[in-house]
């Protein structure tokens, strides 16, 4: 017999009032930038006939995912930074980790699809339209969402079936699988291995595929004019930088079961807040066609 935990207490990023106000200001500005930048990109792609290629279709979906990903954690974090008691009910905690993994893993798959799209456009320009048809784009995006759902439902079921009867304090600013399952009143050896083989290997696998695809892109433009090589190198370097900012923290958090560090919650800030801020700047606003469309808006 045990009494089930009905709520969790989030410790947040800091308990110092002055630092909480500073963090609130920084994250509010970051969240506003995510919303404004990505909404502008979505509206520009949807309204400008010039932005009808598969690349912009995928970028529009990336912007939508970034808005969803940040909105799952940022509003709650902003409210908690100004609150004395940072409590979240058990059902809300499970819902938050489910949707975070749903959207986060979908973004990983979508970034992989976008790298394939760029590789096809550069390496096989004559067949690009046939390979990346509208039907193929919808199929790829749907597969990303389906893969994200299968991943997140697995994570949520692994968490829900555990008994929670003791401590209810989470040393983070949001509910995630690693800190939550360590509060369970049961042996979580198998659960942690399943979590690492699920989230960790997905993060590592997508990251390696992305790096390999950008390497293939650079090899394919090796014999072209210096200006074209420099443009490809600049674009790939920017993309790899943002991909690294998103994937490396995920690999660090999810690919190491049986251990946790106090600074894990600060590592999570990079892929829940800062990566969605950088995506519009790197993936779209560096593009002259998108910038012109946004300025017209």
Q: What is the pLDDT of residues 73-98, one digit of tens each?
A: 999 999 988 888 888 999 999 999 99
- Going from N- to C-terminal start, the domains of the chain cover 7-296
Q: If you write DSSP's letter for every residue of 269-289 in order, what string do you get?
A: HIIIIIHHHHHIIIIITTSHH
Q: How many CA atoms lie within 13 A of 145 on its CB side?
A: 11
- First and final CA of the chain: distance in angstroms? 61
What confidence score (pLDDT) does residue 288 get? 74
Q: Which fold has domain 7-296?
A: Rhopdopsin 7-helix transmembrane proteins (1.20.1070)
Of 245, 96, 247, nearest in space to 174 by CA = 96
What confidence score (pLDDT) does residue 1 get? 46
What pTM was computed for the model?
0.89
What confidence score (pLDDT) does residue 72 get? 92
Enumerate the β-bridge partners of residue 89.
7
Judge contact between 55 and 121, C-beta under 8 A. Answer: yes
What confidence score (pLDDT) does residue 232 get? 66
Contact partners, residue 210, CB within 8 Å, separation at least 6: 111, 112, 115, 240, 243, 247
Distance from C-alpha of 204 to C-alpha of 196, rounded to nearest angstrom: 11
Kindly provide the b/e burial profile for residues 20-32, where b requires at least 16 CB atoms within 10 angstroms of the residue's own CB.
beebbeebeebbe
| Sites in the chain below the pLDDT cut of 70 | 1-3, 223-235, 258, 283-286
What confidence score (pLDDT) does residue 226 get? 66
Q: Where are the beta strands (DSSP E) in 154-258?
A: 169-170
Distance from C-alpha of 69 to C-alpha of 28, rounded to nearest angstrom: 15
């Amino acid at each position: 017999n045990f009494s089930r935990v009905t709520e969790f207490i989030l410790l947040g990023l800091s308990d110092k009032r002055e630092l909480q106000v500073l963090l609130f200001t920084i994250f509010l500005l970051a969240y506003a930038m995510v919303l404004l930048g990505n909404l502008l990109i979505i509206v520009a792609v949807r309204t400008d006939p010039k932005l009808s290629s598969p690349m912009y279709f995928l970028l529009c979906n990336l912007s939508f995912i970034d808005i969803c990903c940040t909105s799952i954690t940022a509003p709650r974090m902003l409210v908690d930074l100004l609150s004395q008691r940072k409590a979240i009910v058990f059902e809300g905690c499970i819902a938050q980790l489910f949707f975070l993994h749903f959207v986060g893993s979908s973004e990983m798959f979508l970034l992989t699809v976008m790298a394939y799209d760029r590789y096809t456009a550069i390496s096989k320009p004559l067949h690009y339209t046939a390979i990346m048809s509208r039907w193929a784009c919808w199929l790829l995006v749907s597969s990303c969402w389906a893969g994200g759902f299968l991943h997140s439902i697995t994570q949520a079921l692994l968490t829900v079936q555990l008994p929670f009867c003791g401590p209810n304090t989470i040393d983070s600013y949001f509910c995630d699988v690693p800190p939550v399952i360590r509060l369970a009143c049961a042996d979580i050896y198998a659960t942690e291995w399943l979590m690492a083989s699920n989230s960790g290997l997905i993060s590592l696998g997508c990251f390696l595929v992305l790096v390999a695809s950008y390497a293939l892109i650079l090899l394919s433009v090796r014999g072209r004019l210096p200006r074209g090589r420099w443009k490809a190198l600049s674009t790939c370097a920017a993309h790899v930088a943002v991909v690294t900012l998103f994937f490396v923290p995920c690999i660090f958090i999810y690919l190491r079961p049986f251990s946790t560090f106090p600074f894990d919650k600060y590592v999570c800030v990079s892929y829940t807040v800062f990566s969605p801020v950088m995506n519009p700047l790197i993936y779209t606003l560096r593009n002259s066609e998108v910038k012109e469309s946004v300025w017209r808006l």
